Structures are given as C-alpha cells and as structure tokens.
Amino acid sequence: MSDAASGTGSPGTGPLGVACIGYAFMGKAHSAAWREVSAHFDVPATSRQVLVGRDAGQVAEAAATYGWAESATDWRDVIARDDIDIVDICTPGQTHAEIALAALAAGKHVMVEKPLANTLTEAVEMAAAATEATGRGVFSMVGFNYRRVPALAHARNLIAQGIIGQVRQIRGAYLQDWLVDAQAPMTWRLRAESAGSGALGDIASHTVDLVGFLTGSTATDVSARLQTFVPQRPGPGGPEDVTVDDGAWLTLGLSGGAVAERAVASVEVSRVALGRKNGLTLEIYGTEGAICFDLERLNELQVLRGTDASSHGFARVLITEEDHPYLSAWWPPGHVIGWQHTFVHQVRDFLTALDSGTPPTPSFADGLATQRVLAAAQESARNASAAITLGPT
C-alpha cells in the first residue's frame, strides 16, 4: 500500500467503525490520529463512531471537541454494537485486560495502550486470547508509539544492515520531572491498584520495548532497583501513601538479533528528574559504529560509522527525506514532523495490517515480552536479587 492519501475503504466494504475507550491524555492523542490518518496515508476508511468515558458530561464535550460522532459511558454496550469494528483502549492499566478480552471475544480488532497490562498474569491471558482471535481473523496491537518515530525506524534499519556491526551495549534513559514537587497531588498513576507500577510501567516499558525493536534481541536476565522518593502525596481525604516507584534502574542481558555475545542494555527512568520534561535518549554502541537518538531532537540521528571516532566523529543525519520511514506522506525534505505524528503512523500501520490480513506489530505477544521484563524488575528490586533469569516468551 502506498503512502499517498486516499481516504477510501476496501472495495465493497463500508468504513470501519472505531470506538475509543478513554478520553484523557492518550484518548486525545489517539483521537487526533484517527482524525488525521486518512488525510496523509492510503488506508481503509474509518468512521469515528463513539468516544467512551465514565463522566457523561465530560466525555460528551470531549467527543464534540475531538470529532467523534457520539459519546457513551458503558464500554460493554459499545463493544456489543454491530457498527463497531475496532476498539482502541486508552484507559488506566487495571482495565486493559477486561476490556481487551471482551472486545476480542466479540470479534473486534483491538489496539491497547502500553503497557499491555498491570500484571504478568493478565498479560499472559491477553496474549493467549489474541493468538486465538488471530485464528478467527481478529487482530490486536499494543500502542508502543515510539516505534513509529521515523528516526528510530531508520535506526532499526541501519542496525539490521550491519552499519554499526554487532551491538555490544545500549544505554536508554527516559527522564521526566512532573512529580518533582512533593506536594503534587495523588493521581491514579501513583496507585499500584490502578497503574501496576510507576515510572517502570509508564516509561521504562517504552525503553525496554525499543531495545528489542531496534536490535531484534531478547532480554535473557534482569536486575533492577526501584525507588519511591516521595512516599506520600496529598489526596482528596488527606495524605495518601504512594504505592509505586518514582524511578527505576534496570540492567538487561541480551541475546539474538543484531547483538553481540554478552551484550548488555542499561535502562534508567525517572519522573522526578528536575529539568527533564520528556527526555528519552538512546545510545547504541556496536563493534563498527554507534547510533544516538534524543526525543527532544526527534527528527535527527547521530551516526558514527567506523571504529576511528577521532577522525570520523558522529554525523548528524536529518530524518526528513522521502525515502525515510513514513515520510513520503508528509512534507518536503527539511520540514520536520512532531511527537503527535507517531500516533498517526501507529494507526496507519494498524489499518494497513487489517487491510492486508496481516497481524500488526507490536503484538500482544510482544507486549507480554516487555511485561516479563517489568515483572522481573519488580521481583529483582523486591528481593534485592542480582538478576532474574527470564523464561521463554
């Protein structure tokens, strides 16, 4: 399928009806992607049928603002509707499994925001259900949107081509500061029952997924430390205990794909790193070169080719050319795109997969692989273990 805009569905079929469950931060980002995708990419036509949320007034206002045909408060009723073909889940983690399992059972294609679930048990059940549904032609995908940054997709291609040789080590950091103030109020993201974990599941999940995506490798063992810097925060009824981490430090052993023997990845994440708003950086060091990426410079890569760094040095590569991933649909070379476009690319890839009858990626099985790393990190930190060996995915 080309990247030219068409806005038409498959021959002989009507638009695919979409329901989005959740209307806050991720619901807004996903809504924009569903609204914009057909203006730039040749994908099956969709109809933004219904936006779902718990508060009837607020979700109705959001639906009107985001361009949905209607709003609703009961996701179960929405999933049962004949005019819904796709369910996009943008809710807190504790609801992912219930909604996704019900939607797959009802024959709906499913996209669910990362991490796949709050617990490893839920993730295993979801991956099994997704495999069974695929046999019925019902597809699912996890929303790791940073896979759709053109620069990172290009970096993956370069690594697969052997430009930097075998990867020996990866250094990933995802740092934010929105919780640096100890008086910042409690939210669902700070409660284990709703979020599963803190910075670990919220942003380390992205970084762990990217390690595997960029190199094709699998984590073989995990050692970790988790830290809660602010143990209590103001709640509606007074101080509440924070039951998740503010920061996490992971070391992963890697094997397979483009990595060398005894390859290692380090992952550092924090939501109390003062001065960092959304600072995702990745450094990939190989036997014949290196690649560095900074989300704050989303349209660039720093690429070192060859082993003589003193004479070659890192070259800045601007990722805006028509032959770079996704970019033939956008603007002339040098005209940069932004963070929101990763969600457009995500929807594009999902719809293209549906149209071709090909299971989209990352799959629920991919989400489960990341969940295994997160669960091992929690176990390692809880037991002060040197490393947790991972079993098969």
Task: Give residue-wise pLDDT tens across range 91-101.
Answer: 999 999 999 99
Entry pTM: 0.94
* Domain 146-363+369-383 CATH (choose: 3.90.1150.10, 3.30.70.2340, 3.40.50.1240, 3.30.360.10): 3.30.360.10
DSSP codes, 336-365 = ---TTHHHHHHHHHHHHHHHHT---SS-HH
Residue 372 has pLDDT above 80, yes or no: yes
Query: The tokens of 127 are what?
Result: 């991956």
pLDDT for residue 393: 66
Position 376 confidence tier, pLDDT thresholds 50, 70, 90: very high
> Three-state DSSP class for 111?
strand
Position 344 confidence tier, pLDDT thresholds 50, 70, 90: very high
Position 13 confidence tier, pLDDT thresholds 50, 70, 90: low
- In the chain, CATH 3.30.360.10 covers 146-363+369-383
Give burial (CB, 10 Å; 0-12/13-18/19+) of 174: buried
- Name, in order, each residue with C-beta under 8 angstroms of 108's C-beta and a sequence gap of 6 or more: 79, 84, 85, 86, 87, 138
Position 12 confidence tier, pLDDT thresholds 50, 70, 90: very low
Tell me whether the omega of the peptide bond preceding residue 332 falls within 30 degrees of 0, making it cis. no
Instruction: Read off the DSSP letter of residue 159.
Output: H
Task: Give residue-wise pLDDT tens across range 113-148.
Answer: 999 999 999 999 999 999 999 999 999 999 999 999
Residue 274 has pLDDT above 80, yes or no: yes
Mean pLDDT of 227-248: 97
Mean pLDDT of 18-37: 98
- In the chain, CATH 3.40.50.720 covers 16-145
pLDDT for residue 6: 36
Task: Give residue-wise pLDDT tens across range 185-224.
Answer: 999 999 999 999 999 999 999 999 999 999 999 999 999 9
Name the strand (E) or helix (H) holding 155: helix 150-160
DSSP codes, 235-259 = ETTEEEE--S-SEEEEEEEEESTTE
Give burial (CB, 10 Å; 0-12/13-18/19+) of 382: exposed
- Name, in order, each residue with C-beta under 8 angstroms of 272's C-beta and a sequence gap of 6 or more: 177, 179, 180, 229, 230, 246, 247
- Mean pLDDT, the chain, integer: 94
CA nearest 146: which of 63, 226, 207? Answer: 207
Tell me which of 8 and 250 has the higher pLDDT. 250
First-residue to last-residue Cα distance in the chain: 31
16-145 CATH: 3.40.50.720
pLDDT for residue 3: 41
Give the separation between CA 282 and CA 153, rounded to whole angstroms: 13
pLDDT for residue 183: 96
pLDDT for residue 306: 86
Position 107 confidence tier, pLDDT thresholds 50, 70, 90: very high
Please report, for residues 116, 255, 364, 388, the alpha-carbon distance to residue 221 in angstroms, rounded to integers and kept in the order given.
20, 10, 21, 5
pLDDT for residue 10: 41
Identity at 229, one-letter amino acid code? F
**Pairing relationship of beta strands 86-89 and 109-113 according to DSSP bridges:** parallel
Please report, for residues 289, 292, 352, the alpha-carbon distance to residue 304 in angstroms, rounded to integers and kept in the order given.
5, 9, 34
Give the separation between CA 11 and CA 245, rounded to whole angstroms: 50
Beta strands in 256-387 (DSSP E): 259-270, 279-286, 289-294, 300-305, 315-318
